[in-house]
């Protein structure tokens, strides 16, 4: 049996499409009433992530509603520290909390050989999804990039400036490198397991890449991503990899060149003409403002049209510049997809 053509994969291989494939970061989530109902049934957010039947269900919800070209596995970037033995909690209105790891000595509490029980639950979700999804819907597996995951592990949660991780990296680069190396290895293992379970494409989220100056960006963002890409390509040469180095700005082109990623997810602040320039060497993805999706209406339609037009004839995946926010009216998402697919 021949493999079905998946438009999003073709695009990642460099083939422009008349209508760009579309999916949205955080397409499963609180803006959907059916997500809120399933999460309540699961107990909490983490119970949902580790329940393969319900995690698969919330992954499928936005596919049923909108027919996106890709589904993204429902999980979280912080399952990696959780599986390593740094227990994670999510509290209403407070976001994630972990007990912080601040020194090389404390790294010993992380157990890279003990991730299997939790990772297996995620792999089971992937396997169910590949069975249940329409054949022409791409399944995206993901993880957080080592730098971004480290910022949460070191601060013990979210922070506005990532000061704790930056401080450690300046004070004790060798010690911080040990954390980054550990995360790089575990993340490769985790993504490789997702591919073996059925993921077609991988995305690496580096939400806080933009908080580093150039030399640190090279060491903590580009270098670990490059290593992950080369290890993953050695195992799975046909699986495209998208990176989201949010805030990379002027360093984006170099990041793409040095890491060898197949796709670059561009944040909202990336100018459209810069995206068109980047699309000469890589597939680009993005970058509608998530708040324009909240506003909807003619303003949203106009921006959808201008992105589509500016990137026509280039390898381009339509997406947001960051994740969907909870106050998004679900009907605006439907309107966006219709607008994009309408051939004008």
By CB under 6 A, residue 297 contacts ligand CP3: no
Task: Give, as ranges, the residues between 40 and 69 that touch ligand CP3 (CB under 6 A).
Answer: 45
Per 3-state DSSP, what percentage of the chain is helix, strand, and coil (rounded to 5)?
55, 15, 35
Q: Are 286 and 279 in contact (CB under 8 A)?
A: no
In the list 20, 29, 52, 146, the residue contacting ligand CP3 (rule: CB under 6 A) is 29
- Residues 114-153, mask of contacts with ligand CP3 (x by CB under 6 A): ----------------------------x-----------
Q: What is the DSSP string of 271-283?
A: -HHHHHHHTTTSE
What is the greatest pairwise CA distance in the chain?
Answer: 61
Q: How far is the CB of 9 from ligand CP3 (least distance, A)?
A: 19
Q: How far is the CB of 207 from ligand CP3 (least distance, A)?
A: 3
39 is catalytic: yes
303 is catalytic: no
Task: Give, as ranges, the residues between 319 and 338 that touch ligand CP3 (CB under 6 A).
Answer: 323
Catalytic residue among 6, 35, 66, 76: 76
Q: Which stretch binds ligand CP3 (CB under 6 A): 5-13, 26-34, 221-229, 233-241?
A: 26-34
In the list 66, 74, 119, 123, the residue contacting ligand CP3 (rule: CB under 6 A) is 74
By CB under 6 A, residue 77 contacts ligand CP3: yes
State the sign of the Cα–Cα–Cα–Cα dihedral 113, 114, 116, 122: negative
Q: Are 137 and 71 in contact (CB under 8 A)?
A: yes
26 is catalytic: yes
Cα 332 to Cα 28, 147, 216, 327: the distances in Å are 15, 33, 39, 11
341 is catalytic: no
By CB under 6 A, residue 72 contacts ligand CP3: yes
76 is catalytic: yes
Tokens representing 47 are: 């119970």
Q: Are 208 and 150 in contact (CB under 8 A)?
A: no
By CB under 6 A, residue 95 contacts ligand CP3: yes
Q: How far is the CB of 343 from ligand CP3 (least distance, A)?
A: 28
Q: How far is the CB of 75 from ligand CP3 (least distance, A)?
A: 6
Q: How far is the CB of 159 from ligand CP3 (least distance, A)?
A: 10
Question: Any idea what DSSP says for residue 22?
Answer: B
Instruction: Give the side-chain half-sphere CA count within 13 A for 286.
Output: 27
Q: How far is the CB of 201 from ligand CP3 (least distance, A)?
A: 13
Catalytic residue among 31, 50, 66, 152: 152
Buried b or exposed e, range 94-112, using 16+ CB within 10 angstroms: eebbbeebbeeebbeebee
By CB under 6 A, residue 30 contacts ligand CP3: yes
Cα 234 to Cα 229, 231, 239, 282: the distances in Å are 8, 5, 10, 20
By CB under 6 A, residue 96 contacts ligand CP3: yes
Instruction: Give the side-chain half-sphere CA count within 13 A for 199.
Output: 29
Q: Which stretch binds ligand CP3 (CB under 6 A): 73-81, 124-132, 185-193, 247-255?
A: 73-81
**Any idea which residues carry the catalytic annotation?**
26, 30, 39, 76, 152
Query: By the criterion CB under 6 A, which residues form the site for ligand CP3?
Result: 25-30, 39, 45, 72, 74-78, 95-96, 142, 158, 205, 207, 323
């Amino acid at each position: 049996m021949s493999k079905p053509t998946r438009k999003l994969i073709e695009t990642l291989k460099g083939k422009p499409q008349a209508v760009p494939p579309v999916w949205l970061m955080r397409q499963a989530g609180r803006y959907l009433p059916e997500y809120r109902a399933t999460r309540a049934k699961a107990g909490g957010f983490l119970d949902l992530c580790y329940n393969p039947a319900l995690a698969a269900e919330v992954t499928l919800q936005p596919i049923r509603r909108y027919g996106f070209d890709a589904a993204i596995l429902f999980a979280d970037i912080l399952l990696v520290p959780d599986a390593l033995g740094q227990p994670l909690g999510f509290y209403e209105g407070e976001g994630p909390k972990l007990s912080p790891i601040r020194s090389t000595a404390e790294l010993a509490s992380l157990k890279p050989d003990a991730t299997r029980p939790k990772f297996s639950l995620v792999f089971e979700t992937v396997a169910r999804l590949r069975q249940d999804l329409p054949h022409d819907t791409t399944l995206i597996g993901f993880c957080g990039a080592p730098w971004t995951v480290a910022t949460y592990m070191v601060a013990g949660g979210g922070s506005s400036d990532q000061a704790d991780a930056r401080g450690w990296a300046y004070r004790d680069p060798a010690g911080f490198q040990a954390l980054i190396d550990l995360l790089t290895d575990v993340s490769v293992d985790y993504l490789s397991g997702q591919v073996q379970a059925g993921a077609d494409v991988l995305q690496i989220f580096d939400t806080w890449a933009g908080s580093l100056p150039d030399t640190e960006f090279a060491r903590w963002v580009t270098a670990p991503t490059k290593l992950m890409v080369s290890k993953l390509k050695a195992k799975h040469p046909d699986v495209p990899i998208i990176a989201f180095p949010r805030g990379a700005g002027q360093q984006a082109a170099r990041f793409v060149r040095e890491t060898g990623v197949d796709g670059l997810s561009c944040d909202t602040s990336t100018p459209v003409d810069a995206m068109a320039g980047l699309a000469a060497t890589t597939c680009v993805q993005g970058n509608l403002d998530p708040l324009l999706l909240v506003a909807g209406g003619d303003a949203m339609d106009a921006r959808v049209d201008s992105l589509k037009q500016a990137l026509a004839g280039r390898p381009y995946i339509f997406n947001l510049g960051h994740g969907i926010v909870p106050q998004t009216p679900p009907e605006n998402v439907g309107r966006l997809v219709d607008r994009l697919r309408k051939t004008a």
